Amino acid sequence: IRWTEGRGWHDAQLTPYAPLSIDPANMTLHYAQEIFEGLKAYRRPDGSVVTFRPDANAERFRTSARRLAMPELPVETFVAACDALVQQDKAWVPAHGGESSLYLRPFMIAAEVGLGVRPANEYLFIVIASPAGPYFPGGVKPVSVWLSEDYVRAVPGGMGFAKTGGNYAASLLAQAEAARKGCDQVVWLDALEHKWVEEMGGMNLYFVYGDRIVTPELTGSLLAGITRDSLLSVAKDLGYTSEEGRISTEQWRRDAESGALTEVFACGTAAVITPVGFVKSTGGEWAQGDGEPGKVTMALRKALLDIQTGAAEDVHGWTHELA
Ligand code: PMP
């Protein structure tokens, strides 16, 4: 779907996957006006196909568009485009059972040609899809994390809450540093004090204190994950208390070592939930838990995945049947 100034959204098309032809002076290539989303289509036990909270992705896409000075795509158009692609590619949605899905990647780029630094006057909204296997083919395994102190992902007033490629470009070096330190993932801290835990490279974090789960509050410099938001409710369904709060790195270490902090996990569309088992930082390292995925972590993971795949009743009305 194309957007042109003065004309709005027009020319929706469903076409075979093919390379785009891009002018070397396309403004996206120079000034990075780009935003994207990620969501999954799952096959239910009866063979029908659903997506999970596409309206929430559509709303976040509008929020990202505003920050990047791009036009806001109507929620219905976003959802209709995803529906049309999944209908077309239905045969590629894996069978129910397991955790396989059809992953959808909606995105928008500037389509104007020119080198002036200003919002473009033309944009392209595109959705592509690809089958995705289970994130943990060998079973869920805790990951190790590196607390990044040399780099920050986002600053107050910046675009950390937007899902834009630039945020991911900024994270690649820190992710490589985490790998050099022997860790699977980078954890971002706040930009001002380097003290408050924000999120992981591509996932939000949750801290489990017995039957109370806490996730870092949305400060504006982390992404408002849809999995994160869903878990605030799913936790209550399972009888836990869930809340948003602030967790410092000192508190993480102290509470992990005292045993008060029973589990930590990360969550996002890709892996649903990933346990965190080991933490490393310039100030030292510590084990989080006993090396096995925690009970609360796995209970939440199953409950959410069951809703997403249609194995359990969806009391929240989150699953979306294709139009
Ligand atoms: N934080 C970042 C930086 C991410 O890229 C993602 C993945 N979209 C998340 C959090 C989790 O968001 P969601 O649950 O919507 O996938």
C-beta of 39 in contact with ligand 1 (< 6 A): no
Q: Which residue segment(s) compose the domain that 119 sits in? A: 2-134
> Judging by DSSP bridges, how do beta strands 39-43 and 319-321 pair with one another?
unpaired
Q: How far is the CA of 59 from the centre of ligand 1 (A)?
A: 14
Q: How far is the CA of 202 from the centre of ligand 1 (A)?
A: 5
The CA-CA-CA angle for residues 193, 185, 196, to 5°, reads: 20
Domain boundary among 111, 134, 157: 134
- Of all atoms in ligand 1, which is nearest to the CA of residue 227? 14
153 shares its domain with 298:
yes
Q: Residue 94 class from Cβ within 10 Å (0-12 exposed, 13-18 middle, 19+ buried)?
A: middle
Residue 319 lies in a domain: no
How does the average pLDDT of the chain come out, rounded?
Answer: 97
**% residues pLDDT > 90 (the chain):** 96
112 shares its domain with 189:
no
What's the half-sphere exposure (Cβ side, CA atoms, 13 Å) at 170? 17
pLDDT at 98: 86
As a dihedral over the C-alpha atoms of residue 168, residue 51, residue 4, residue 223, rounded to 10 degrees, the angle is -30
Residue 317 lies in a domain: no
Separation of alpha carbons 188 and 194, rounded Å: 9
Q: How far is the CA of 225 from the centre of ligand 1 (A)?
A: 5
Separation of alpha carbons 99 and 308, rounded Å: 10
Contact in structure between 42 and 52 (CB atoms under 8 Å): yes
259 shares its domain with 295:
yes
Residue 321 lies in a domain: no
Phi then psi dihedrals of residue 166, to 5 deg: -60, -35
Q: How far apart are the first and last CA of the chain?
A: 18
Q: How far is the CA of 267 from the centre of ligand 1 (A)?
A: 8
Residue 315 lies in a domain: no
Nearest protein CA to atom 5 of ligand 1, as residue? 202
C-beta of 227 in contact with ligand 1 (< 6 A): yes
Residue 274 lies in a domain: yes
C-beta of 226 in contact with ligand 1 (< 6 A): yes
181 shares its domain with 237:
yes
Separation of alpha carbons 261 and 264, rounded Å: 8
Task: Please state the domain count of the chain.
Answer: 2
- Of all atoms in ligand 1, which is nearest to the CA of residue 223? 1
Secondary structure, 3-state, the chain = CEEECCCEEECCCCCCCCCCCCCCCEHHHHHCCEEECCEEEEECCCCCEEEECHHHHHHHHHHHHHHCCCCCCCHHHHHHHHHHHHHHCHHHCCCCCCCCEEEEEEEEEECCECCCCCCCCEEEEEEEEEEECCCCCCCCCCEEEEECCCCCCCCCCCCCCCCCHHHHHHHHHHHHHHHHCCCCEEEEECCCCCCEEEEECCCEEEEEECCEEEEECCCCCCCCCHHHHHHHHHHHHCCCEEEEECCEHHHHHHHHHHCCCCEEEEEECCCEEEEEEEEEECCEEEECCCCCCCHHHHHHHHHHHHHHCCCCCCCCCCEEECC
Residue 160 lies in a domain: yes
Separation of alpha carbons 217 and 246, rounded Å: 6
pLDDT single digits (tens) 215-262: 999 999 999 999 999 999 999 999 999 999 999 999 999 999 999 999
161 shares its domain with 303:
yes
Domain boundary among 116, 134, 152: 134
pLDDT at 222: 97
158 shares its domain with 266:
yes
97 shares its domain with 240:
no
pLDDT at 323: 87
Mutation probe of ligand 1 site: the residue of 145, 203, 273 with most atoms within 8 A of C-beta: 203
106 shares its domain with 175:
no
pTM of the complete model: 0.97
- The sign of the CA dihedral 146, 147, 151, 156 is positive
What's 34's domain CATH number?
Answer: 3.30.470.10
What's 295's domain CATH number?
Answer: 3.20.10.10
Nearest protein CA to atom 12 of ligand 1, as residue? 225
82 shares its domain with 182:
no
Contact in structure between 204 and 223 (CB atoms under 8 Å): yes
162 shares its domain with 291:
yes
291 shares its domain with 240:
yes
Task: List Cβ neighbours of 157 (8 Å cut-off, separation of 6 or more).
Answer: 220
199 shares its domain with 168:
yes
Q: How far is the CA of 112 from the centre of ligand 1 (A)?
A: 29
Residue 177 lies in a domain: yes
Q: Which residues of the chain have pLDDT under 70?
A: none
Mutation probe of ligand 1 site: the residue of 53, 171, 204, 226 with most atoms within 8 A of C-beta: 204
Separation of alpha carbons 89 and 1, rounded Å: 18
Domain boundary among 89, 114, 134: 134
pLDDT at 139: 85
Residue 318 lies in a domain: no
Separation of alpha carbons 46 and 55, rounded Å: 23
C-beta of 199 in contact with ligand 1 (< 6 A): yes
